[in-house]
């Protein structure tokens, strides 16, 4: 619930650190967004010849350092991205100069880290070589030969928290949210609540994901939820388009520092965005599909709007979850229409350019909202050639770049299991 305290001294995003498929700085990402450049390309990390889906949104550093089969010790993707993002965040924010460690928390949206496929293949080969001697001792010996201790550490979510703590000591709340597609939105909401409760004065939040691995791409392909190879890589992610066929996997890390607005302005720093309101919900009708009546989408958007106190007509922009799947885009468009009626805020869908970063998706898209607010433009939804005729009429999709000032934006994040979160962001420059 919004209080007098939260209205007079709200939470804001004060700094960022990013590793993304379309750049690592606001300027670089803005340049790619405004010029409609896609970060989705052919996967170079491993052989995709036996896969239908051979494209993803992968940061350059990931393509160069996380490869299978191994020609050098594996760099865990989540740890690598976290290290780069936290270094960039601290260079931008310098939190340690203003807070004691007991005042700093860390609440991150994460996917469970990917395991090293090669090690498990080596283990299977080692067991097979032993012939019929497949007793317990033989299997343990083969595992010791094949798996290294650091690989057990790398598949634990605590390894990501440890990486943050190695750069800045965390003495307050420290936890992970494994909420898949809505994880980083939930984490920001929990971070704001943590500060409002007085438990922390500053929280590092956001999302980290490195799911572009042989195992995960194969698993998602077998589920039939990823886009088919009907277009070139840069055209395959098609939110709200009639020919959309599934989401496009991506990875990276986007970390934010969140603090009280008064603390940020006291030291002469201009915040990136003010968090005006938020809402969360869960539909639980199906493990993958959205609720058939958009229950979780409607509930979390309405909660966020009520929590913010912002009139509907003041919301200029909706950054949609817009996965480019048949069901999400259909249900999300219905929910937006039901809430906004004849009002026509611009609807953007930046996944069309960077893909779906799963646990880091909401943080990636919040960064895009920050760019829209800072540079007074909304990027077009690329590949939106023909809007699906099943959508409600009167929705204002960004078919071209729109140059205008954005005061308030609504960011939607809807995950598997009908987990949903919405955040109202305010432009600190207006």
Print pLDDT tens along the chain (430 aa).
Answer: 455 466 789 999 999 999 999 999 999 999 999 999 999 999 999 999 888 889 999 999 999 888 887 666 666 899 999 999 999 999 987 788 899 999 999 999 998 766 666 766 776 776 666 555 566 677 667 666 666 666 666 667 888 999 999 999 999 999 999 878 999 999 999 999 999 999 999 999 999 999 998 888 988 888 888 998 889 999 999 999 999 999 999 999 999 999 999 999 999 999 999 999 999 998 766 666 677 788 999 999 999 999 999 999 999 999 999 999 999 999 999 999 999 999 999 999 999 999 999 999 999 999 999 999 999 999 999 999 999 999 999 999 999 999 999 999 999 999 876 789 999 999 999 9
Instruction: Supply the angle between the helices 26-34 and 361-375 in degrees, to the nearest 10.
Output: 80
Per-residue CA distances from 281 to 228, 294, 356, 421 (Å): 31, 11, 21, 6
Encode burial over 182-219: b for 16+ CB neighbours within 10 A, e otherwise: bbbbbbbbbbbbbbbeeebbbbbbbbbbbbbbbebbee
Torsion from C-alpha of 240, 242, 245, 246, nearest 10 degrees: 10
Q: Is residue 190 part of a domain?
A: yes
Q: What pLDDT score does 384 carry?
A: 98
Q: What pLDDT score does 233 carry?
A: 95
- The torsion angles phi and psi of 138, rounded to 5 degrees, stand at -65, -45
**Neighbour tally for 287: CB within 10 Å:** 8
Q: What pLDDT score does 51 carry?
A: 87
CATH of the domain at 161: 3.40.47.10
Q: Is residue 185 part of a domain?
A: yes
**Neighbour tally for 232: CB within 10 Å:** 12
Let me know: does 312 contact 404? Beta carbons within 8 Å.
no
Q: Is residue 128 part of a domain?
A: no
Q: Is residue 122 part of a domain?
A: no
Q: Which residues have a Cβ under 8 Å from the Cβ of 394 and sit 6 or more positions away?
A: 337, 342, 344
Q: Is residue 395 part of a domain?
A: yes
Structural domain boundaries, residue 371: 12-114+155-426
Q: What pLDDT score does 284 carry?
A: 65
pTM of the model: 0.92
What total of structural domains would you count in the chain? Answer: 1
Encode burial over 240-278: b for 16+ CB neighbours within 10 A, e otherwise: bbeebbbbbbbbbbbbbbbbbbebbeeeebebbbbbbbb
Q: Is residue 36 part of a domain?
A: yes
Q: Is residue 142 part of a domain?
A: no
- Residue 408: enclosing H or E segment and its boundaries? strand 408-414
Task: Please give the Cα distance from 163 to 165 (Å, whole number).
Answer: 5
Q: Is residue 127 part of a domain?
A: no
Let me know: does 245 contact 390? Beta carbons within 8 Å.
no
């Amino acid at each position: 619930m919004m209080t007098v305290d939260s209205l007079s001294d709200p939470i804001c995003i004060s700094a960022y650190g990013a590793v993304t498929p379309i750049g690592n700085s606001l300027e670089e990402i803005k340049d790619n967004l405004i010029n409609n450049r896609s970060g989705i390309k052919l996967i170079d990390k491993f052989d995709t010849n036996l896969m239908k889906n051979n494209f993803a949104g992968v940061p350059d550093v990931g393509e160069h350092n996380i490869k299978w089969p191994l020609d050098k010790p594996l760099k865990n993707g989540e740890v690598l991205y976290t290290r780069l993002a936290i270094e960039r965040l601290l260079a931008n924010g310098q939190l340690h100069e203003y807070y004691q460690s007991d005042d700093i928390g860390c609440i991150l949206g994460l996917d469970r880290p990917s395991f090293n496929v090669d090690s498990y293949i080596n283990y299977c080969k080692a067991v097979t070589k032993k012939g019929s001697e497949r007793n317990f001792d033989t299997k343990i010996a083969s595992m010791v030969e094949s798996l290294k201790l650091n690989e057990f550490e790398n598949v634990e979510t605590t390894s990501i928290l440890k990486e943050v703590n190695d750069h800045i000591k965390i003495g307050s709340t420290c936890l992970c949210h494994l909420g898949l597609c809505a994880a980083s939105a939930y984490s920001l909401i929990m971070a704001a609540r943590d500060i409002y409760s007085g438990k922390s004065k500053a929280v590092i939040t956001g999302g980290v994901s490195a799911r572009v691995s042989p195992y995960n791409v194969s698993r998602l392909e077998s589920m039939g939820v990823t886009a088919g190879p009907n277009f070139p890589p840069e055209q395959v992610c098609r939110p709200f388009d009639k020919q959309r066929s599934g989401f496009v996997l991506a990875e990276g890390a986007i970390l934010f520092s969140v603090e009280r607005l008064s603390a940020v302005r006291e030291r002469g720093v201009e915040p990136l965005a003010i968090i005006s309101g938020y809402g969360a919900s869960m539909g639980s009708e199906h493990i993958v599909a959205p609720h058939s009546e958009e229950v979780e989408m409607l509930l979390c958007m309405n909660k966020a709007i009520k929590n913010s106190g912002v009139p509907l007509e003041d919301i200029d922009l909706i950054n949609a979850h817009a996965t480019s799947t048949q069901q999400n885009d259909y249900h999300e468009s219905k929910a937006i229409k039901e809430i906004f009626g004849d009002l026509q805020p611009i609807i953007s869908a930046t996944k069309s350019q960077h893909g779906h970063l799963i646990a880091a998706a909401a943080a990636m898209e919040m960064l895009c909202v920050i760019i829209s607010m800072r540079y007074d433009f909304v990027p077009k939804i690329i590949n939106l050639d023909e809007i699906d005729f099943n959508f409600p009429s009167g929705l204002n999709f960004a078919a071209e770049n729109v140059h205008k000032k954005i005061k308030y934006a609504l960011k939607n994040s809807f995950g598997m299991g009908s987990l949903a979160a919405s955040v109202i962001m305010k432009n600190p420059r207006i």
